[in-house]
A and B are shown apart, each in its own frame.
Chain A
Amino acid sequence: MKLTSDQIKHVAKLANLPLTPDEEEKYSDQLSKILEYVEQLNQVDTSDVESTFNVTGQSNVMREDETTPSLSQEEALSNAPRKKDSMFVTKGVFEEQ
């Protein structure tokens, strides 16, 4: 099953990846092959099997509502490529009108 160019563009957009036309072509091939590979699983009859979302078999793993100290402001910001007024700087996102 070959993915269409539109499908590749859609997936790239959802993944926030800008692709060149060459890359679109390249990934379209690669992704299609990956999907084909995974599609082999469809040969197994799973009609009587419940979906598994978690392989640990655990449930109700929770903690009490207690606090512990957070990272210092310096530590929290230490990996930020850009910072200003003790905040992370990102590209501007849509402003209200």
Chain B
Amino acid sequence: MNNYEPIIGLEVHVELNTKSKMFCRCSADYFGKEPNTHTCPVCLGLPGALPVINKQAIESCIKIGLALGCQISKKSLFERKNYFYPDLPKGFQISQYRWPLCINGQITLDSGQVIRINRVHQEEDTGKLSHRGDVTLVDFNRSGVPLVEIVTEPDFRDVESVRDYAKKLQQLLRYLGVSNADMERGDMRLEANISVHPIAIASKASPWRLPDYRVELKNINSFRFIVAAIEYEIKRQIEALEKGEKLLQETRGWNEDKKCTFLQRSKEEAHDYRYFPEPDLPEIEIQNSDTKKIAEQLPELPWSKSKRFADEFKLTATQAQILSESKELAWFFEETVKHGNKHGVSAKEIANHLINKKTDINIVLPVQVIEELKGKRVGIIENKEELEELAEQAVKKNANAVLDYKKGKEVALQVLIGAVMKLSLGKADIAKLKPILEKLLKS
């Protein structure tokens, strides 16, 4: 096994969270909706219908490109990718090929390895197929939803870095707010190109060359599956090479039940897409000033935030990384630190507390964390009876919050927790208090 080196490149498709579709004004919020209720002549591919570019989608795509350190093209064109498949009503997909919006970026993994980004381009999603026996049913709600494709160079040499890359990308997309990047819902879909070669031969070859085949693993919608599929594929390919078999260019899928990859399409059936510029869409010209404006909207990126947390608050790299995992948690941490400064509670103490107690930031307020931490120093109230008494007092004094809670407003719980904190001078243990309050409210 160790005599072989896997070579992996990744293509990630990301559905943007724009309100409308890429080229028409149909709502892009299609998930779980009645079939064929989000369509119009444009996204149904009816004759004569003309597409118009969604400006927000272009900006989101450029945002992703900038965050990945890409060069933003001065001139970009949409092109038609021609093929017949029932999920594609027009007989072509509007995509980008020779003039993508963003090229030549990079991202640094935890290991320090730099993965080069070949391109970030804009295209449209296809309809959804359901296979029923000998027929296929088509729902076009998803047809035309803005899709961004992020393509890496074949820089991965192991499955761990693939996982790290995919997670980092998901985190980035959420920080940028351009996609929900939810794999289960298909907001983010992974494709891997895999080949292996014997290290001995590879190291002697000059210049270094890619193997003359690659296997494409398509449409994988979970981190776990992509890891399993790549591991399986590396093993399968090495075994084939050991047996002296010649590996061919092909597309394979992942069968989760059987835990194996399976052939979908071989090279003989390879597509000939005949890309050509989309005549219905004028070109996109991007001035430096446009790019600058979009760059100014970029939030602090997760890796910068993590580094700053470590430097500014003297946290360990792991702590900084955990606290910057989501934009929301990072915001909560920094807000808590601000309050902590006023009360002599250190950032380090707050970081430890948030990480060890796994504070639910949707329930607790930053100020409550400080109260709890201050309370801890003089004796925290953990006793069930005492907490119940405090909870009862808080409920009596806050009839409105109780009503709100019963109407389904979860935030009302925060008001009551705040009230208990006030009564207890910040000494109540919030984690223990929460179930007591909830029980009381439900009785």
Contacts and interface: CB of A to CB of B under 8 A. Distances in A.
Does B bind A? yes
B262 A63 contact: no
B282 A59 contact: yes
Most buried by B among A53, A62, A70, A77: A70
A21 B18 CA distance: 50
B137 A84 contact: yes
B174 interface: no
Given A67-B26, A70-B26, A59 B283 contact: yes
Given A84-B135, A96-B253, A60 B284 contact: yes
A37 interface: no
B85 interface: yes
Contacts of A16: 84, 91
A69 to B, nearest CB: 9
A90 interface: yes
Interface in A81-97: 84-97
A92 B53 CA distance: 33
Most buried by B among A66, A72, A89, A93: A93
B135 A73 contact: no
Interface residues of B, number: 54
A89 B27 CA distance: 23
B399 to A, nearest CB: 41
A54 interface: yes
B25 A88 contact: no
Contact of A67 (B25, B39, B133): B25
Interface string B32-70: 001111111100100000001111111000000000000
Given A63-B25, A66-B25, A93 B53 contact: no
Contacts of A89: 135-138
Contacts of B34: 73, 86
Nearest to B25: A68
Contacts of A72: 37
B42 to A, nearest CB: 10
A49 interface: no
B383 interface: no
A73 B131 contact: no
Contacts of B44: 71, 76
Nearest to B271: A14
A94 B35 CA distance: 22
Interface string A21-34: 00000000000000
Contacts of B284: 59-60
Interface string B356-367: 000000000000
A61 interface: yes
B408 interface: no
B135 A92 contact: yes
A16 B272 CA distance: 12
Contacts of A77: 36
A88 B137 contact: yes
Interface string B75-97: 00100001011100001000000
Contacts of A67: 19-20, 25-28
A60 B285 contact: yes
Contacts of A91: 86, 134-136
A92 B131 contact: yes
B17 to A, nearest CB: 10
Contacts of B423: none
Nearest to A75: B39
A8 B84 CA distance: 18
Interface string B119-154: 000000000011111111111100000000000000
Contact of B18 (A14, A56, A65, A96): A65
Contacts of B255: 96-97
A64 interface: yes
A6 to B, nearest CB: 13
A44 to B, nearest CB: 20
Contacts of B40: 70-71
Given A63-B55, A66-B19, A97-B262, A85 B35 contact: yes
Interface of A: 10, 14, 16, 53-54, 56, 58-68, 70-73, 76-77, 84-97
13 contacts: A56-B282, A61-B282, A63-B53, A64-B56, A67-B27, A76-B37, A77-B36, A86-B139, A87-B130, A88-B36, A91-B86, A91-B136, A97-B262
Given A54-B279, A54-B281, A96-B264, 16 more contacts: A54-B283, A61-B281, A63-B54, A64-B55, A65-B20, A66-B19, A70-B38, A70-B39, A76-B37, A76-B39, A76-B44, A88-B36, A88-B138, A89-B138, A91-B134, A96-B262
Q: Which 9 A-B pairs have the closest CB atoms?
A: A65-B56, A53-B277, A87-B137, A62-B55, A58-B282, A88-B138, A68-B25, A90-B86, A62-B53
